[in-house]
Amino acid sequence: MVPLPPEQRVKFFVFVIESPSAVDLYHRRSEGEIVRQAVELNGISCIVKTAISLQAFNACLKIGLSEAMSLRPGFIPLLHISAHGNTDGIQLSDGYVMPWAELKEHLRPVNQALGGSLVVCMSSCEGYSGIRMAMHPEENDLPYLALIGCGAQPTWGETAVGYSTLYHHLWRGVHIAQAVEAMRVASGNDHFFLEHAEKSRQSYMEYLSKINPAQAQENLEHIVASESPDHQADLKRLSEVH
């Protein structure tokens, strides 16, 4: 990996929004502080905000991020979201479950404000599933430029080492794809991936183009035909209710 000379490197800071669980709070586990301490060794500015509720999450994105940028003119933010999650979305400290479709709506105006340059680092289990936010061909505004996340369930150690390595290599001026590769090697977890929103959208559109609507309808009719006569009659009655 050949880094860019200092004068050609992108100036950035890391903006962490973390929403720890009750267990994390009890054990005083804070990924944000681990990341902050690591990246500040390179002189990278890192701001850590804790969002225990949806209202706090909104405040972090709409107020906290803006304030951080105003104090760092000329620097672009890398958004690091740390929370428990699964393939359907993330969960905040107070138990609120935020599906990807909702998170997308929070991120879209931020990406638009940044001129389409938002990079989102999803630090959660199945965080890579966040690429579903870009799989909406009918929408013009993308929620991010690129997303980095794990396609499995990383340990605390893998996450901390992985993202600290990522930011270290980005600071060195290494291309983002190479930085993610270094992240995999350092963490020992091969499930960290990088995906650009436009690629996710195009892949999804290609997938949709391969679907045969007539065949899909025939498949549905076959499913109904395989049901018992009584069940078919019930389905027909329900479909006729207006």
Average pLDDT along the chain: 87
> What percent of the chain shows pLDDT beyond 90?
60
pLDDT of residue 127: 94
Mark whether 172 and 231 lie in a shared domain.
Answer: no
What is the C-alpha to C-alpha distance for residues 95 and 239, in angstroms, rounded to an integer?
A: 37
Residue with tokens 């107070």: 94
* Token output for 238: 């329900």
Give, as one character, the DSSP assignment of residue 10: P
Residue 97 is part of which domain span?
6-207
Mark whether 76 and 143 lie in a shared domain.
Answer: yes
Mark whether 126 and 37 lie in a shared domain.
Answer: yes
Fill in the amino acid letter for 181: E
**pLDDT, tens digit, for every residue of 26-55?**
888 889 999 999 999 999 999 999 999 999
Give the model's confidence band at 88: pLDDT under 50 very low, under 70 low, under 90 confident, else very high. very high
Mark whether 164 and 135 lie in a shared domain.
Answer: yes
pLDDT of residue 189: 97
pLDDT of residue 211: 54
Mark whether 91 and 155 lie in a shared domain.
Answer: yes
In this predicted structure, the answer to whether residue 103 has a pLDDT above a threshold of 80 is: yes
Mark whether 168 and 219 lie in a shared domain.
Answer: no
pLDDT of residue 22: 86
**pLDDT, tens digit, for every residue of 124-171?**
999 999 999 998 877 778 999 999 999 999 998 999 999 999 999 999
Mark whether 194 and 229 lie in a shared domain.
Answer: no
Total number of domains in the chain: 2
Fill in the amino acid letter for 6: P
The reply to whether 1 falls in a domain is no
The reply to whether 61 falls in a domain is yes
Mark whether 47 and 127 lie in a shared domain.
Answer: yes
- Calculate the CA 102 to chain-centre distance: 12
* Token output for 12: 């950035």
**CATH code: domain of residue 87:** 3.40.50.1460
Mark whether 45 and 114 lie in a shared domain.
Answer: yes
Mark whether 202 and 229 lie in a shared domain.
Answer: no
**CA angle, 191 as apex, 170 and 82 as ends, to 5°?**
65
SS3 21: coil
| Nearest Cα residue to 44 out of 132, 142, 164 | 164
What is the C-alpha to C-alpha distance for residues 231 and 123, in angstroms, rounded to an integer?
A: 46
What is the C-alpha to C-alpha distance for residues 179 and 63, in angstroms, rounded to an integer?
A: 29
In this predicted structure, the answer to whether residue 235 has a pLDDT above a threshold of 60 is: no
* Token output for 144: 């991010």
Mark whether 48 and 91 lie in a shared domain.
Answer: yes
Mark whether 126 and 233 lie in a shared domain.
Answer: no
- Number of neighbouring beta carbons within 10 Å of residue 126: 20
- Number of neighbouring beta carbons within 10 Å of residue 27: 10
In this predicted structure, the answer to whether residue 209 has a pLDDT above a threshold of 70 is: no
Give the model's confidence band at 24: pLDDT under 50 very low, under 70 low, under 90 confident, else very high. confident
